[in-house]
Amino acid sequence: MCLYNPFTDMRLLKIPALSSMLAWTALGAAPAVHAADASSTQVERVSLTAAPNAPALDSSLPLADRILVRKSERRLFLLRGSSVLRSYHVALGLNPVGQKERSGDFRTPEGNYVLARRNPRSDYFLSIEVSYPNEKDLRRARRNHWNAGGSIMLHGMPNQPRMGPEYYERNDWTDGCIALSDADMLEIWLLSRDSMPIEILP
C-alpha cells in the first residue's frame, strides 16, 4: 500500500476554497459537527476545528443525511432531506450497465447500502467503503453459486495513475467502485457521516 499524504497534492492546493481546508487538515484540524443558531432552522453543519497556530478559516458546511447515485447520469448527489446540497460527476466500473452480481464482473452495485469504513491511506485519494453486498446481493450470489465480491468504495483518483488525467475524466475505469475527482472526494469526506444511507440507481 502506498502511504500517501493527500494534503501535499499540489493539484488540490490550486483549487479555490479547498486550499485553506487542506492547510487546516494538514495542521491537525478535525471536522466537527454543530447545530445552527437556535434562532434559525436547525441544520447540522460541519466546521473545521482549528489546530494550534492554524490560520483563520470561515467555513461552515451543511452535513448531508444521504447519498443518491444515478449510474446512467454518472451523477452523485449529496442530499439533506429533499434538498440537493452538492452534485458531482462520477466514474463507474468498466462494465457499468446492470447490477453487480459477482466478483470480477466490473459492475457498480445497484441498491440500498450505507457508508461503512473510511480509509485515508488507500491506494486512491481517500476512500469510503459502501456496504455491498447486502442480503439481497448475497442471496442472489448463493443461488447462482457465485462469489458476490466486495470492497466497493467511493474514492478519488489513483495515487499512482497509469493513465493521463483526461482518461479518468472521460471514462468509466474502476473495478466497480464509484470514483470522483480528488476535490469532490474531499467534500464528500467532510460532508458525510458513517452509516449514512447511499442509494445507487441504474
Which sequence spans correspond to the domains of the chain? 64-201
Q: Which pLDDT does position 62 carry in this prediction?
A: 81
Asked whether the beta carbons of 173 and 149 are under 8 A apart, the reply is no
Non-local CB neighbours of 65 within 8 Å, separated by 6+ positions = 79, 80, 81, 196, 197
CATH class given for the domain over 64-201: mainly beta
Integer Cα distance of 176 and 160 in angstroms: 19
Low-confidence ranges of the chain (pLDDT < 70): 1-61
User: Which letter does DSSP use for residue 3 in this model?
Assistant: -
Average pLDDT of the chain, as a whole number: 80
Is the torsion defined by CA of 129, 20, 184, 157 positive or negative? negative
Q: Which pLDDT does position 71 carry in this prediction?
A: 98
Q: What is the pTM of this model?
A: 0.73
Q: Which pLDDT does position 112 carry in this prediction?
A: 97
